[in-house]
Structure 1
Amino acid sequence: RQPHHRKDGGTAVAITADVTDPAAVQTAADRIATDLGGADLLVNNAGVMLPAPIEQLRADQWRHQIDLNITGLMNVIGAFVPQLVTAAGARGVADLVNTSSVAAQNIFPTFAVYSATKAYVSHLSRHLRVELGPRNVRVAAIEPGIVGTELQDHVTDDGALDWLAGTRQSMEWLTGQDIARTIGFLATLPPRVNLQQITIMPTGQTT
């Protein structure tokens, strides 16, 4: 069992789980329910970006992106939505935040499979908002531009690597803290307010 961490009047517990393993995700959800009384804010952020020209037929990378970005997302939603509904009933509001990407809307050559998985995230979020909104669960899709995280560390395609390196030279990327502050803002809005889709871009990024 992982220890609880307490600071500034709050309690945190870190749980490791493979989101592509539904049993592991359910175990994590059960632990949250037992130790912390259930979740009232869920941020789906696990994902991987593996651009490559489609003609390379990198089926292994296709599967990896679909398994993590789509199936993993659904596993977490399935495990935690009951807790969100319960929390919303008790507290008047709960939040489901799904990390999508500006790639869900825009066109980036060689990023077709990744972009398609993120389009799934954005469109799913719009549907879930209609389903869960009447239960006082707000659903939001965050669509960031380029954020400086480990996401880029998995990229192996030379063309995509060159493009990413060029963007780092030409603009200041977003940081993880920028996204966290945005989520904190939407989660603390009055219960009547649901920001259903937020596109957050580096000031210097144009696509």
Structure 2
Amino acid sequence: MKTILVTGATAGFGAAFARRFVRDGHRVIATGRRVERLEALAKELGENLLPAPLDVTDANSVAGFLDTLPEAWRRIDVLVNNAGLALGLSPAWEADLADWDRMIATNISGLVHMTRAILPGMVERDDGVILNLGSVAGEYPYPGGHVYGGTKAFVRQFSLNLRADLVGKNIRVTDIEPGMVGGSEFSQVRFHGDEAKAAAVYAGITPLNPDDIAEAASWIVSLPKHMNINRIEMMPTCQASGPFAVKRD
């Protein structure tokens, strides 16, 4: 049994990770800002899930987070840096600067602060797994993806550089990079609650779903200590990278 810390566990990928890892026989520390959702998840999954409210954008809370946990839960075997979001799809010159700042605070600062808080214990024990949630947006550009894609490119490079620091240690780091995933709040959040716009993203297609991403995470965690998956890119069969855009007169 491993102790697995999942950030952003109140919905979507995070909730799917929590359910899958508990089903796999592990115990999960589920973090997020929406306390009532964490409590509902704990009621659903039982004693192997510990709800632990946390806002990853609050650096002071993250730094002291381990000390707030019951002592028996403080050894973190797996860190899942899942908390993240996309906001807006307007062209860069029309984008809301507050949206940019929030994506950077959550997708980059929150991830690195959580990693810095948990990694020393893994290094001391020479054992651990870090799963970072990236995106195909960190590899393939698209209109309106500017800062979101930039934050996910950071996730990829940060993950690879962690491995460079950790070479020779039994600490594995993987950047999981999904493409289109339905069944989460991702698009509702991106469009600030506009349900029609969110639904249009997935109209007429069969996207991946959060359980598909949790399946990949479960497999990675189950691998032997000497085997590291640097990055895993996932898309539904209805999606692929496209040709370069060319504007002609």
TM-score by length of 2: 0.72
| Paired residue type of 1:152 | S
The DSSP-based 3-state class of the residue aligned with 1:14 is strand
After TM superposition, give the deviation of residue 154 of structure 1 in Å.
1.5
Q: Deviations over 1:15-44 (max 9, x none)?
A: 010101122113322234723141010000
Pair 1:46-2:46 in alignment: no
Match of 2:150 in 1: 116
| Paired residue type of 1:16 | P
In the superposition, relative to structure 1, how do residues 141 and 8 fare at CA in structure 2: closer, same or farther (>3 Å)?
same
Match of 2:223 in 1: 189
Q: Structure 2: which 5+ runs fail to align?
A: 1-37, 242-249
Rounded Cα–Cα distance in structure 1 between residues aligned with 2:122 and 2:70: 11
Of 119, 122, 141, which residue of structure 2 is paired with 1:107?
Answer: 141
Match of 1:35 in 2: 72
1:139 and 1:196 in contact (8 A); partners too? yes
| Paired residue type of 1:110 | G
Match of 2:49 in 1: 12
In the superposition, relative to structure 1, how do residues 167 and 153 fare at CA in structure 2: closer, same or farther (>3 Å)?
closer
1:140 and 1:195 in contact (8 A); partners too? yes
Give the aligned length. Answer: 197
Moved more, 174-183 or 49-58: 49-58
Rounded Cα–Cα distance in structure 1 between residues aligned with 2:70 and 2:154: 28
The DSSP-based 3-state class of the residue aligned with 1:29 is helix
Report the aligned-residue RMSD.
2.5
Match of 1:168 in 2: 202
Rounded Cα–Cα distance in structure 2 between residues aligned with 1:96 and 1:75: 13
Match of 2:120 in 1: 82
The DSSP-based 3-state class of the residue aligned with 1:170 is coil
Match of 2:181 in 1: 147
Percent identity of equivalent pairs: 32
Match of 2:93 in 1: 55
Q: Deviations over 1:140-185 (max 9, x none)?
A: 000000112111111238xxx75x6455123211111111111110
Of 70, 82, 85, which residue of structure 1 is paired with 2:108?
Answer: 70
TM-score by length of 1: 0.85
Rounded Cα–Cα distance in structure 2 between residues aligned with 1:73 and 1:182: 20
